Amino acid sequence: MSTEPKEIVRRYLGRYVSGGDESVADELVAEEIVFASPYAPQPVEGKGAFEQMIAGLRAAFPDLAIREEALIAEDDLVAARWVASGTHTGTPFAGLEPSGRRFEIAGMSFYRVRAGKIVAGWVCDDSLGMLTQLGAMPAPVA
């Protein structure tokens, strides 16, 4: 198993978030992780809370997939550009009951990797587009 930051993030996005393989969380995520996401009102602190956040997303969107577009690494920092997609067939999300609607959005995230594990992450994505596609908001008028 590689301890290179870029490969850690690639495995995190592919096996853990997209693949739903929770068994790799111990290999990839540090106990002290701090993670800022549009889907949590405050930064998520600690591995347990982080795992709950990922499990919540996967419960709402069982087919959640992250398609990696680009990964750039410098020292212990990795920048990722990706496209996320999924179908809301699971549990409620952001106050919305499952609608069966599909979303696809672009996003970027940054990760700090130390000692072979992700210790921090920051996500920026098209949350408004996601909520619009899920039917929570009207489509913008051209």
Domain ranges, ordered by start, for the chain: 5-89+100-133
Is residue 118 predicted with pLDDT exceeding 70?
yes
CA 1, CA 109: separation in Å to the nearest integer? Answer: 23
Q: Are 118 and 28 in contact (CB under 8 A)?
A: yes
pLDDT in tens, 51-110: 999 999 999 999 999 999 999 999 999 999 999 999 999 999 988 999 999 999 999 999
User: How far out from the chain centre does Cα 100 lie?
Assistant: 20
CATH of 5-89+100-133, one of 1.20.1050.10, 3.30.390.50, 3.10.450.50, 3.40.50.10280: 3.10.450.50
Amino acid at 81: R
Q: For tokens 């602190």, what's the residue?
A: 45
pLDDT in tens, 24-58: 999 999 999 999 999 888 999 999 999 999 999 99
- Res 16: pLDDT: 96
Tell me the pTM: 0.91
DSSP state of 59: H
Is residue 3 predicted with pLDDT exceeding 80?
no
Collapsing DSSP to helix, strand or coil, 99 comes out as: coil
